[in-house]
C-alpha cells in the first residue's frame, strides 16, 4: 500500500522520527529536505540498488589465498 500526499513548498511530513520538508518544486522536480537522527539510514533508490549490487558481487567474488 502507498500513501500519496500533495504538499506545497515549505510544508512538512513526519515519518517516524524523520521530518521531510518540501523545499522547492521546479520544472517537474521536487527538492526534499530530510531531518532524521544519524541512526536513520536515508538512501536514494538508485544508491541503494548500486550498494546492493556491490555487496552481492563482493559476496560472490573468489576469496584471495593467503
What is the tens place of the pLDDT at every residue in 44-64? 888 766 666 666 656 665 666
Separation CA 16–CA 18 (nearest Å): 6
28 domain residue, yes or no: yes
pLDDT digits (tens, 9 = 90+) for 20-46: 999 999 999 999 999 999 999 888 888
The pTM score is 0.66
Pairing of strands 18-26, 12-15: antiparallel
Q: Which domain holds residue 33?
A: 12-60
How many domains are there within the chain? Answer: 1
DSSP 23: E
Measuring CA to CA, which residue among 47, 66, 44 is closest to residue 55? Answer: 47
In a domain? residue 17: yes
End-to-end CA distance of the chain: 49
Q: How far is 27 from 46, CA to CA, in rounded Å?
A: 21
Amino acid at each position: 500500500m502507498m500513501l500519496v500526499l500533495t504538499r506545497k513548498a515549505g510544508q512538512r511530513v513526519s515519518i517516524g522520527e524523520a521530518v521531510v520538508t518540501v523545499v522547492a518544486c521546479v520544472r517537474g522536480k521536487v527538492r526534499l529536505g530530510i531531518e532524521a537522527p544519524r541512526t536513520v539510514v536515508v538512501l536514494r533508490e538508485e544508491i541503494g540498488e548500486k550498494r546492493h549490487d556491490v555487496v552481492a558481487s563482493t559476496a560472490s567474488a573468489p576469496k584471495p589465498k593467503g
